[in-house]
Structure 1
Amino acid sequence: MLEGIVGWLSQSGNTATSAIVTGVAGFIAKGIYDLQVQRRKEKLERINQQLKLLYGPLYSLSAASGLAWKEFQENYWPDRQTFFSEGRKMRPGDLALWRLWMRSVFQPINEAMCEAIEKNSELLIENDVPTELSELLAHTEVYKTVIARWDAEDYSEHLASFNYPSELEAYVNRCFLSLKEQQRKLIGYRVPAVKHSGAGDTDTQASAQASLASTFTNREV
């Protein structure tokens, strides 16, 4: 009989121990899950802010700037790669046209991009300001002095000493699309794969991308 009591106590002890272990394991698992959810939420919130305040505005503004530059080129100087081509004598009307587009189109867009960067630098993906953005900041600031001369009717200078960053559009597009992809994954949405009917589709896309890249390479503003 004593052996039976001892066996029953031993069996009960094992059951209680098992319940305690199960409870502790469940508590730990819930803690880990809650921590993962919180981290996921915080990461999503940061990405949302990055897209809303920095990379979204940069994406739309740089696209608008690129399209405006293309329109400017196609309508007024389709026969050359840059507005101020080497060896070309600029007429007063050409320079007045440049000042008009610079003042009313390109500089305002550049200043809007710089404002987004300066106000939201803590949202940058990188630890330091990347070259493409620092060059844009410098270019825009230098051009302010050129425009100030125009306001004083001094037209001796028409270009900034610091060029517009040729890789800006590519950098902004890369960052924006990367963040959008991360955002989709965090909210549980997957982008369906694009199916191509043949090699010709790929060749057409590559050709279009190369054409667009060449349009933006020779930017002067």
Structure 2
Amino acid sequence: MGPGCVYPGYLFTYFNTKKTDERKAQIDRANDQVRLLYGPLLACISATRSAYAAMVRQHSPDGTTDGFVKAIREWPDGPEGNSYRHWMKSVLQPLNERAADIIINHLNLLESSNIDPVLLQFVAHVSSYRVILNRWEDGATAEWSAVSYPDKLPQYVEREFKKIKRKQADLLGIKKTATTEAGEAGGKDINTGKVPLHSKL
């Protein structure tokens, strides 16, 4: 076999290997995006939303978010205010801290080259509540964060999660269905009604 036959074979092997390596890198990144960023973040945000809705149902005088917020604003040391601070300290803030850590520690896995403003607002909100919780401990129960919770965050995270799952499936050559995607997102839309989390508190 002459050298003229060997060279094309070498080129084919080189480019085929290069293409395979690039595809593997894309698959590995998509896997990391699901496993380390969007999957855990979706779980935290979903849990926070469900917990907030449960808190409102249990402690709002009229069963609504507006009624709950009004009661706390008018009487911070009343039963609604005490319940809110307890839920915030024991349930909501720990979940928010976990979600913020996921974002901060895995910024390199974001699908977009820019950080979405909703993520920046969320991290700022979580940071501000660290101060607020300390102020509550000092007795300043009427203080609230000036940085509201971004109510579009759950929809943003769910949308990005589904986008990455579709990309992951395409790279793996898996044909996905609407039923499969619903199952991956927990079998239901994470928007549990129109409960605007702590944007008003």
Task: Confirm or deny a common fold (TM above 0.5).
Answer: yes
What is the RMSD of the two structures over their aligned residues, measured on CA atoms?
Answer: 2.6
Alignment match, 1:80:
64
Alignment match, 1:33:
16
Larger radius of gyration: 1
Alignment match, 1:212:
191
Q: Structure 1, unaligned stretches of length 5 or more? A: 1-15, 195-207
Q: Compared with structure 1, are the counterparts of its residues 62 and 107 closer, same or farther at alpha carbon in structure 2 (3 Å cutoff)? A: same
Per-residue deviation, residues 54-82 of structure 1 (Å, max 9, x unmatched): 11110110111111112122222253333
When normalised by structure 1's length, the TM-score is 0.75
Shift of 1:104: 0.7
1:54 aligns to 2:33 (yes or no): no
Q: Structure 2, unaligned stretches of length 5 or more? A: 180-187
Q: Compared with structure 1, are the counterparts of its residues 125 and 192 closer, same or farther at alpha carbon in structure 2 (3 Å cutoff)? A: closer
> What's the secondary structure of 2:194's corresponding residue?
helix
Per-residue deviation, residues 89-122 of structure 1 (Å, max 9, x unmatched): 3361111011011111111111101111111111
Alignment match, 1:69:
52
Contact persistence 1:70–1:215 (CA under 8 A): no
Alignment match, 1:174:
159
| Identity between Structure 1 and Structure 2 (%) | 25
For 2:37 and 2:140, locate their aligned partners in 1 and report how far apart those are by CA, in whole Å: 35
Superposed counterparts of 1:1-221, under 5 Å: 20=4, 23-77=6-60, 79-82=63-66, 83-85=68-70, 89-90=74-75, 92-157=78-143, 159-192=144-177, 212=191, 214-216=193-195, 218-220=196-198
For 2:107 and 2:169, locate their aligned partners in 1 and report how far apart those are by CA, in whole Å: 23
Shift of 1:154: 2.3
For 2:95 and 2:165, locate their aligned partners in 1 and report how far apart those are by CA, in whole Å: 23
Shift of 1:49: 1.4
Q: Compared with structure 1, are the counterparts of its residues 27 and 114 closer, same or farther at alpha carbon in structure 2 (3 Å cutoff)? A: same
Shift of 1:86: 8.5
Instruction: State which drifts further: 109-118 or 66-75.
Output: 66-75
Contact persistence 2:59–2:83 (CA under 8 A): no
When normalised by structure 2's length, the TM-score is 0.82
Aligned length, in residue pairs: 188
Contact persistence 2:72–2:80 (CA under 8 A): no
Instruction: State which drifts further: 24-33 or 80-89.
Output: 80-89
For 1:147 and 1:86, locate their aligned partners in 2 and report how far apart those are by CA, in whole Å: 19
For 2:70 and 2:178, locate their aligned partners in 1 and report how far apart those are by CA, in whole Å: 44
- Supply the AA of the counterpart residue of 1:79: G
